[in-house]
Amino acid sequence: MKYVSTRGQAGTVTSAQAILGGLAPDGGLFLPATFPHYTPEEMAGLFDLDYRALARQILGLYLPDYDPAALGGFIAKAYGNNFAAPEITPLAVVDDHLSFLELWHGPTCAFKDLALQLLPYLLTAASRQFGINKEIVLLVATSGDTGKAALAGFQDVPGTKVIVFYPEEGVSAIQKRQMVTQEGANTYVVGVRGNFDQAQAGVKAIFADGRLRETMEAAGKSFSSANSINWGRLVPQIVYYFKAWADLRKAKRLAMGETFNVVVPTGNFGNILAAYYGKKMGLPLHKLICASNANNVLTDFIRTGEYNRNRPFYQTSSPSMDILVSSNLERLLYELTGEDPAAVCALIEQLRTRGSYRLATEQLNRLQETFWGGFADEEETMAALKEVYTKYKYLIDPHTAVGYKVYADYVEATGDRRPAVIAATASPFKFNTGVARALFGAEAVAAKDEFAWLAELSRVTGQPVPRGLQGLEEKPVLHDRTIAPAEMEAAVREILGL
C-alpha cells in the first residue's frame, strides 16, 4: 500500500515514511492511495477477534512495510494492562437502539490514548527502518487532552523527547495536574502565559524555522508531530469502529445485513474520519453524525457546503472540541473532490486567504450522502448529560453529551431509529465540574474544587475514580516552568541544549 499527499506534490511513500514525515513535504496530509476493502465473508472472520487481534488484522493492511511480528508486539504493548478495561473499548448498550463506545479506559482517560499508546512504537520503528539515528523531538501544543496522552505514550521511549506547551489559563485543573506531574526523563511540560492559539502558533513557528532545523540536524535531532495530522495517529482509530460493530452483533442489537449509525463528538475531524475510513473498508455504517458544540463551523459546513472560520470563538464545557479550523477535513476534501489535489489546493488557499470556502453542489451532495451535522449549545449539553443519567443511570462527560443531544436531533429530523453508537470520548471524571454542573447546578459546583468533585462523583454514582486520575492531588509537581509566548523557541533551545 502506497501513500500520497492530499496536495499531490509529494509522490508516493510507504506507511513508515508517511508516519515519520508527519506532514507531507508539500504541506498536505498523507493518506492511502487506495483503501483496503473487506468482503462480507472476510468481515465474518473478524467477528470473534479480541481488540489486539482485530488491530493486527486492520493495521496490518495499512502498514504492510512494518514487520508483522514486530507490529503484533507493538499492539500487544499498546493495548494491554495500561487500559483499565480488558475489552480496551467496551460497548455500553443502554437500550435497544443506543450504545456508548467507551474510548476512555486508557491511562489519560480520553480517546487519544488509543492512538498515542501505539504511535511511539510506529514512529521509532520507522526511524530504525531507515537507519536514522536521530533523536525524535515531539513538539506538542495542547488544549489539554493531546498533551497528556502524548506524554504518557512517549514517557521513557528511547530516542525520543516530548515537549508539551499548554496555555496556563486554558486547561482544567485536572488536565494541568495530569501534565505537570508527568514522570519520565524525556518529558518536558511548559506553561505558556497566553491562550491555546498562541501556543499553537508558537509551535508552528518553531516547525517552520529553517535555521533552527539546521541546528537540530547538526545536533542529530529532528522534530516530529503527535497531532492527528500524522497518519500514525489516525489509523489506530479505525480499529474501534470495527470492534463496536462486532460487539453490537454479539449483543444482538444488529442483525446480519443491517447497518448502524455512529455519532462522533468532533473537533479536528480525526475521530469521525476514522469511522469514514471504516465505512470505505466495508463496515456496515449508514450515517456518520458529526456533533459539534457552540463552535459549530462543521454543522454549517455539512448543512450548507460553506466552511467559514470567520466567527466568534466560544470556550465551552467540552474544550477539546473548541476548534474553528479542523485540520483533518483536508483528507475528506480529497474524497469529495474525487481525489483531485488541484481542487483541494484551491479550497485550502481560499481558507488561508479568505477564511472560508464553498463546495460545489456535487461535492456537497457527496458529503451529505454520508454525513449529518448538528450542534449543542452549553445549556443543551448540560440538559443532555442530565437526561442520560436520569434515563439510563449512565454517566457521560460533556463532550459525549454533545453527541447525545445531536443524536436526539438527528432522530427527530429523520425518524431513523436504526442502531446507533455514540463515541464516548472522555471519562466523566476527567471533566467532572461540567458533569457536576449538569447534575447538581452551578452553585453546588462552586463549593468544591475539581479534586473534591472526583471523590464526590464517585460517591454519588458508585463508580470508582479511574486509575489515571487517582491520587493526582498528592503527586509531586515535576514541571513548573511558565514562559511568555515569545519565549517558546528559547525554551526549546534550552531544553535541547542547542
Ligand X SMILES: *Cc1c(COP(=O)(O)O)cnc(C)c1O
CB of 270 to ligand X, least distance (A): 3
112 binds ligand X (CB under 6 A): yes
428 binds ligand X (CB under 6 A): no
Contact 439, 125 (CB under 8 A): no
110 binds ligand X (CB under 6 A): yes
426 binds ligand X (CB under 6 A): yes
CB of 116 to ligand X, least distance (A): 11
**Which range in 197-205, 210-218, 254-262, 267-275 contacts ligand X by CB under 6 A?**
267-275
Cα–Cα dist 318/397, whole Å: 8
329 binds ligand X (CB under 6 A): no
Q: φ and ψ at 395, to 5 degrees?
A: -100, 130
267 binds ligand X (CB under 6 A): yes
117 binds ligand X (CB under 6 A): no
Going by C-alpha positions, the residue among 144, 155, 83 that lies closest to residue 119 is: 155
320 binds ligand X (CB under 6 A): yes
Cβ distance to ligand X smaller for residue 124 or 316: 316
Element containing residue 98 per DSSP (H, E):
strand 98-102
Chain center to CA of 65: 25
Give the number of other CB atoms < 10 A from CB of residue 296: 21
Contact 137, 120 (CB under 8 A): no
150 SS3 class: helix
CB of 378 to ligand X, least distance (A): 16
171 binds ligand X (CB under 6 A): no
Cβ distance to ligand X smaller for residue 38 or 410: 410
Size of the residue set binding ligand X (CB under 6 A): 16
Is 391 catalytic? The answer is: no
**Which range in 80-88, 262-270, 447-455, 485-493 contacts ligand X by CB under 6 A?**
262-270
Cβ distance to ligand X smaller for residue 74 or 104: 104
Binding test (CB under 6 A) with ligand X, winner from 268, 316, 363, 381: 268
292 binds ligand X (CB under 6 A): no
CB of 248 to ligand X, least distance (A): 22
228 binds ligand X (CB under 6 A): yes
Question: Hey, which bits of 172-284 come out as E strands?
Answer: 187-192, 221-224, 260-265
User: In the structure grid, which three cell numbers stand for residue 127, read together?
Assistant: 526511524
Binding test (CB under 6 A) with ligand X, winner from 230, 271, 292, 295: 271
Catalytic residue among 77, 112, 221, 405: 112
Cα–Cα dist 379/265, whole Å: 16
User: In the structure grid, which three cell numbers stand for residue 39, read together?
Assistant: 468482503
CB of 108 to ligand X, least distance (A): 9
Residues 6 or more apart whose CB falls under 8 angstroms from that of 76 comprise 52
Contact 19, 59 (CB under 8 A): no
153 binds ligand X (CB under 6 A): no
CB of 297 to ligand X, least distance (A): 12
Q: φ and ψ at 273, to 5 degrees?
A: -65, -35
Contact 142, 106 (CB under 8 A): no
Going by C-alpha positions, the residue among 314, 274, 275 that lies closest to residue 292 is: 314
Cα–Cα dist 32/327, whole Å: 17
Contact 298, 326 (CB under 8 A): yes
270 binds ligand X (CB under 6 A): yes
- String marking each residue 384-403 x if it binds ligand X according to CB under 6 A: ---------------x----
Binding test (CB under 6 A) with ligand X, winner from 102, 113, 145, 380: 145
Burial annotation 468-489 (CB, 10 A radius, 16+ → b, else e): bbeebbeeeeebeeebebebbe
Cβ distance to ligand X smaller for residue 20 or 323: 323
CB of 406 to ligand X, least distance (A): 13
Which positions lie near ligand X, rule CB under 6 A? Answer: 110, 112, 145, 228, 265-271, 320-321, 399, 425-426
Q: Which residues are catalytic?
A: 112
